[in-house]
Amino acid sequence: MPSLDQEMTCATGHQDFGHHQAPNHQRTSVIKCDILIIGAGAAGLAAAAAAHDPGLRVILAEKEDHVGGTTFRSGGCMWMPDNFLMKETGIQDNKEQAARYINAVTKLTCSSLEEQAFHGRLRDERLDAFLTQGPEMMRYFRDQGFRWMAKPSQFPDYHPHIEGAVHHGRTLDPAVFDAASLGHYQKFLPKPDSAPVIPRFEDFRVLTRAAFLRAVSCRSFGSSKGNVEACVDGSIADRSAPQGVQRTRQCGNLDWMGAE
């Protein structure tokens, strides 16, 4: 994959505006990367690990002081038809059946106007990409060290009585693990609060902190840079480069310089 050679400038100065801080644009150094990922939730962490694996230079920016996003406070399960655990345990499924289910759910849950918006070549291409590459993605992360429960969840599809549904198997739960095994990476987890633990579907065991493990357990970050407490301030001017990316808060400012 060719390098985009994106440049960002780090600065150290701040100007206090109440609860918010603005950069003074005193640029001190330039950090180059091939890919800048905004958001350290499950999707961002997975993308960062996968992008770094072939040798791309990755910067991961997160506005909070921790990683995980909303996935951190959920069960961390994933809905993926025709996944490797289904194959290994003899549960019948295929891409065509899953596509029929998704299309039937669309018709059942969307208005006629929304349904029209969902159909089209781009939508069909994305659906095919999800059903084709999704199972391969799960195999990839398993090979990199991520662990799911030994058997697929018994939780059925949300609409078990419509065309293409299966009684269980498409939902996979991440394996429970000891957060202390993360070592010094544990400092990037959210601090405990008074919120109740969300139970699993079947056995009400403690929820798995899946999002962070998805990246850390892969052990593939290497020189990837994770910028926690980074925020995005600006707009997307085109598909190639977000404009005005600024890192504020205590660890300096980050300005997007462009892409070549």
Alpha helices in the chain (DSSP H): 42-52, 84-88, 95-109, 112-118, 121-144, 210-216
Which residue did the predictor score with more confidence, 143 or 219? 143
DSSP collapsed to 3 states, 159-191: CCCCCCCCCCCCEECECCCCHHHHHHHHHHCCC
The per-residue pLDDT for 247 is 42
SS3 66: coil
Neighbours of 52 (CB within 10 A): 21
The per-residue pLDDT for 225 is 56
Which residue did the predictor score with more confidence, 165 or 18? 165
Q: How far is CA 31 from the centre of its chain?
A: 23
Q: Which domains does the chain have, with CATH numbers?
A: 6-74+184-201+208-258 (3.50.50), 78-172 (no CATH)
Tokens representing residue 186 in the block: 């544990």
pLDDT tens track for 130-181: 999 999 999 999 998 888 888 888 889 999 999 999 999 999 988 888 888 9
Element (H, E) at 250: none
Dist CA 171 CA 165 (whole Å): 12
pTM summary value: 0.65
Dist CA 154 CA 90 (whole Å): 14
